[in-house]
Every structure is written in C-alpha cells, then in structure tokens.
Structure 1
Amino acid sequence: MKKILFFVLPVLASILVFLLILFLIDKSNSKGALQVTSIPKSKVFLDGKPIGETPLCKCEEDQMLKVGNYTVRLVPNDSKVSPYEQKISISPSVLTVVDRSFGQGALSEGSVIKLSPISEKEAQLLIISFPEKAEVLLDNEIVGITPLLLKKITESDHEIKLRKSGYREKSLRIRPVKSYKLEALIYLSINPKLEDKSIIPSISPTPTSEEKIEILNTPTGFLRVRAENSISSSEITQVKPGESYAFISEEKGWYQIKLPDDKTGWISSQYAKKLTEEVKDKDN
C-alpha cells in the first residue's frame, strides 16, 4: 500500500489553512488528486475541458488525474471578473491544491500548493511569490525573501506569512512531510489602502501627474499585449517585468497602454500596477 498526501483547505478569514491527511491507495496507482477552490464560485476547465465548479476535488481514486502537466482555467460566475489560468503538474499519490480569490486586476490573490518527492530524508519548503522579493516569516520569525528554499523543516504545523510593501499580507498554515518538498506558489494582491496617494505641494514650475503602468513579474517572464481587451484578441507584442508604459485607459481587468512606437495595446491588469509620476508643466 502507498500513502497519498492530501490537503484540506478551509478558509478562515484571510488565512488559508492547509492540513495534511494521509490516505492509503494501491501501490500501482499512477494518478494524483486535484482540489480547486475559489471566491466567487467558478467553473473549472482542465486543458480546455469543463470538469465542474468550485469547490472541486478530484480526490476519489476513480476520479484522480493521470500524472502529467495540465492547464487549469477558472471562469468566475461573476462576469465582471476576468478568468484565471494556471499551469500545474499532477504527481503520483499527491494532491495539488489551487486556490483563487478574485478581484479586479491586481486585487486578485491565490496560491498553488503541492508536494514533490526528494531524495533527502528531511522535509523541505519552497516558497515562490508573485511579485517576488516578499518577506517570509515562519512561525512569526523572519527567515528570508522569496524565492526561498528552507531545509530540515520539522514535521509539524507551521504558519508561513508573506509581507511586501504595497501588498496585502498573506498567511497560510502547512504541515511539511519527510522526504517531500512542499512547494507554495503564492500570488499577492495589491493593498489599495497603501497605494501612494500623497500630494506633493506645488512649486514653480507647477508639477502635474502622469499615470504609468508598471509590468509586474509573471510566471512566463513576459506579458502579452493584445489588440483588444480580450484573451481571444490577437497578440501584437510582449512586454517584460519592470518595464513601464504610459497609461491610456482601463476596462474590466485590462489596462490600455501606449507602446514605444506610439501604438496602443491592452494588457491584463493582474500582472501590472499603476504608477504616478510627476512631470513639469511644459508651459512654464
């Protein structure tokens, strides 16, 4: 008999709690389980095929997925919220957990949690965040900056907390397992209350403000620019994290930006944020 490592995901306020439960299945099993949760309720697609609605758990042996790589797509029942896609991998006898709390653009947050077998006889923890360089606290002690690999973690309940200026703090509880690396991919949401809205006293020449869009880190290392504000629209170019562009307009999870060749295009606001720059009045 072989153990399947299984996560249970209750949501307690803003804290995601992951409990690890052990189940027994046949040794010959070459499948893994998938759990998907979201706020609000969403339709779930796997490689383009509908498999149900959240909360969803392909956890029974006859429902489990073949080992391999998949694309999970969540389409919220609220049509005002943009869909979400995430590439995942299913491993033998392990549950992969996808959680998403939808908001407008960069106000969305979520996580993908899985276990990967390792050769070392210890428990490890890998924490990756978007955006990166978030401060990591393990049981309220600062242990580093993302991306971060922690080794020789005790097999007991732990709380990990991520903090980054301008973003909402995110916490979750985990239980590492010996001979496995627990991988936590965490998406932070912008905290609108902490956005820079300070007003600088005007002096001569009079400063005015110009909005720009900064490209945030993405899982692919780039962000597609589309002709229209739709994922089905044609791609006209790609932009990279750290770059900034003039802001033109905003529409339901999309930003319209001005490109260097004076053309305009649309990007997902999930991986971008507004910046305000001071520019001098050209008439002075």
Structure 2
Amino acid sequence: MRLFKKILIPILFILLAFSIFLIFSYFLNRDTGKGALQVTSVPKSKVYLDGKLIGDAPLCKCEYPNMVDVGEHDIRLVPEEAGLDPFEEKITISPSVLTVVDRTFGTGALSEGSVITLNKIADKNDAQILVISFPDKVQVSLDNNLLGITPLALKNQTESDHEIKLTKEGYKDKVIRIRAIKGYRLDATVFLSTGQSSSPSAQPTSVPTPTSAVKVTQVIISETPTGFLRVRDSGSLAGAEIGQVTPGEKYDLLNEENGWYQIKLKDGKTGWISSEYATKEQ
C-alpha cells in the first residue's frame, strides 16, 4: 500500500499539471471574436462606435478584452474644434487584425483620411492590396510605379513595407504607408481633399527678404511624456517619422496647419511636429 501511494501521488501531480496546461492553452489560443481598432485624427476628436462614445482620438483598442467585436460597425468622429465636419464610415473588424482609421478634418471637401484593414484570403502565399478612393478614378502609384486607377486590386505583392500615392487633378496628393502580408488582402479606403497638390512642383516658393531674415518666429519644444517629440514628414499622425527633437530646443517655424507646426531642423530638412508640445516665440 505504501508503495502504491508513492507511485500514485506523482502520477496525480503530473495529470494535474497537464490538465492546467491544456486549460491554459485553450484560453490562450481560442478565437476571441475580437479585433483591434486604432483611430487618429487632427485635430482631436470624439470617437463613437455604433452610436456609443468609446473615447477620444488618438485611441487604440488593441488589447484584449478592450478590443472590438468582429463584424461591421458604424464609426463616427466628431472634431473638438467648432466649424469642422464630422466623419462617418462603416468599418469591418476582423478577428485578431488591426483596423486603422485616420482623419484630418476640414470644412467640406477639404477633409482627408483613410481606413485600412486586413482580410484573410484563401491563398496563404499571396499578399494582396485593394485600393478604393473617394472620388474614384484616382491614379495609384505603388513604390513610385504607376499601376492604374481606383478601384484597383493588386495580387502577388511582396511581403514588405510599401508606399501608396494617390493623385488626381484638382485634389491634394495623398500618400499612405502600408505593409503587405501573405495570406491577407490589405484594404485601403482613401479620402482625398480638394485644394492645392502636395507635390513639390505645386508648392509655392518664397524669396527671403531682409525683413523676414531679421524677424523669425521660433518654437520651443515643451516637455513630453517620452522625453522627446517625433518629427513627421507631414502634418498628421499617419506621417512617417523622420527624426526627433528634445524639450528645450528651439527651431524656426515655417508653417502652421491644423494643430501642427512645420519646422526647420538643424540639418536643413523640414518636418512637422504636434503644436501640443511646442510654444511659439518671436
């Protein structure tokens, strides 16, 4: 009997440990029926999902259990600044996939933005891209190669980072950066704004005068939670990071637009920073 107990007790411990492992694996790998949602906007906005306020942009419902239920939802962004038009759109949340909504608010047709998500496809070795635009019939370039007009479906793309540029006469150029993934189709719905083209050839140039050389407005970088401030290539959170600046540093202010400052960096390049973390001075 004593020998039987010596054998039985270790076996019970092994079975118990194995049962705990199976339960843990089940909960870790089960389909949660949820997906992630990230929302950015300039200026800040209230975010409503299916008529319910879920927070302020920038917002990321990216960790379980705070992620969003899978399926189709109505999203509405209401800018905090008066006089700007809200944004409404239907979005689809897929299991364990991030959907990204970005909006730069303006009045009427001066607003722009994008909705980007991933959808599983049958071919796990194919990476696809679908580009839809408002308005339609917009020229689409992928990595500086003109490929067609919207709506445009692309198959057999390399699994890597890509740059999509949309251009149409009478509308501002729009550039978005995406990553194609095998086994998924990346859907990009892009909203163009009317106004001056953002291409370098269309930008006005100015000749410095003695007066402007003497009186230059500068910005002082304020304290930030991270100890630095990101510099982007456009006045939007969707813009690519091209550098960083440090609290206390001063830079020449070149332009101001929708809560963003365009500054001249020490190496001569220009970039955009959030006006929330910078103060103007003469």
State the TM-score, normalizing by the size of structure 1.
Answer: 0.58
Structure 2 Cα separation of the partners of residues 156 and 67 of structure 1: 26
After superposition, the C-alpha distances for 1:191-242 in whole angstroms (9 at most, x for unaligned) are 1579xxxxxxxxxxxxxxxxxxxxxxxxxxxxxxxxxxxxxxxxxxxxxxxx
2:171/2:197 contact within 8 Å kept = no
Structure 2 Cα separation of the partners of residues 168 and 157 of structure 1: 23
Q: Give the % identical residues.
A: 59
Q: Does 1:96 align with 2:102?
A: no
Q: Does 1:79 align with 2:119?
A: no
Q: 1:188 aligns with which of 192, 195, 208?
A: 192
Structure 2 Cα separation of the partners of residues 175 and 75 of structure 1: 28
Structure 2 Cα separation of the partners of residues 102 and 62 of structure 1: 30
1:68 positional shift = 1.2
SS at match of 2:109: helix
Q: State the match for 2:159 in structure 1.
A: 155
Structure 1 Cα separation of the partners of residues 196 and 146 of structure 2: 25
Q: State the match for 2:182 in structure 1.
A: 178
SS at match of 2:194: coil
Q: Which runs of 5+ in 1 are unaligned?
A: 1-24, 195-284
Q: State the match for 1:114 in structure 2.
A: 117
Q: Which runs of 5+ in 2 are unaligned?
A: 1-27, 199-282
Give the letter aligned to residue 118 of structure 2. Answer: L
1:96 positional shift = 0.6
Q: 1:139 aligns with which of 122, 140, 143?
A: 143
Structure 2 Cα separation of the partners of residues 169 and 99 of structure 1: 16
After superposition, the C-alpha distances for 1:99-133 in whole angstroms (9 at most, x for unaligned) are 10001100000000000000022000000000001
Structure 2 Cα separation of the partners of residues 41 and 53 of structure 1: 7
**Segments of 4+ moved more than 3 angstroms:** none
Q: 1:35 aligns with which of 24, 38, 57?
A: 38
Structure of higher CA gyration radius:
2
Q: Write the mapping of 1:197-216 to structure 2, written as runs, cut at 5 A.
A: none
Say which structure, 1 or 2, has more relative contact order (CA 8 Å, 6+ apart). Answer: 1
1:26 positional shift = 3.0
Give the 3 Å change call, closer, same or farther, for CA 26–113 of structure 1 in structure 2: same
Query: Which has more strand, going by share of residues?
Result: 1
Give the letter aligned to residue 158 of structure 1. Answer: H
1:69 positional shift = 1.0
Structure 1 Cα separation of the partners of residues 121 and 130 of structure 2: 12
Q: State the match for 2:55 in structure 1.
A: 52
1:82 positional shift = 1.6
SS at match of 1:106: helix
Q: State the match for 1:9 in structure 2.
A: none
Give the letter aligned to residue 162 of structure 1. Answer: L
SS at match of 2:117: strand
After superposition, the C-alpha distances for 1:166-195 in whole angstroms (9 at most, x for unaligned) are 00001111110001000000000001579x
Structure 1 Cα separation of the partners of residues 196 and 62 of structure 2: 37
Q: 1:169 aligns with which of 163, 168, 173?
A: 173
Structure 2 Cα separation of the partners of residues 96 and 157 of structure 1: 17
1:49 positional shift = 0.7
Q: Does 1:123 align with 2:127?
A: yes
Q: Does 1:69 align with 2:78?
A: no
Structure 2 Cα separation of the partners of residues 123 and 84 of structure 1: 30
Structure 1 Cα separation of the partners of residues 197 and 66 of structure 2: 43
SS at match of 2:159: coil
Give the 3 Å change call, closer, same or farther, for CA 192–143 of structure 1 in structure 2: closer
1:28 positional shift = 2.3
1:27 positional shift = 3.2
2:45/2:57 contact within 8 Å kept = yes
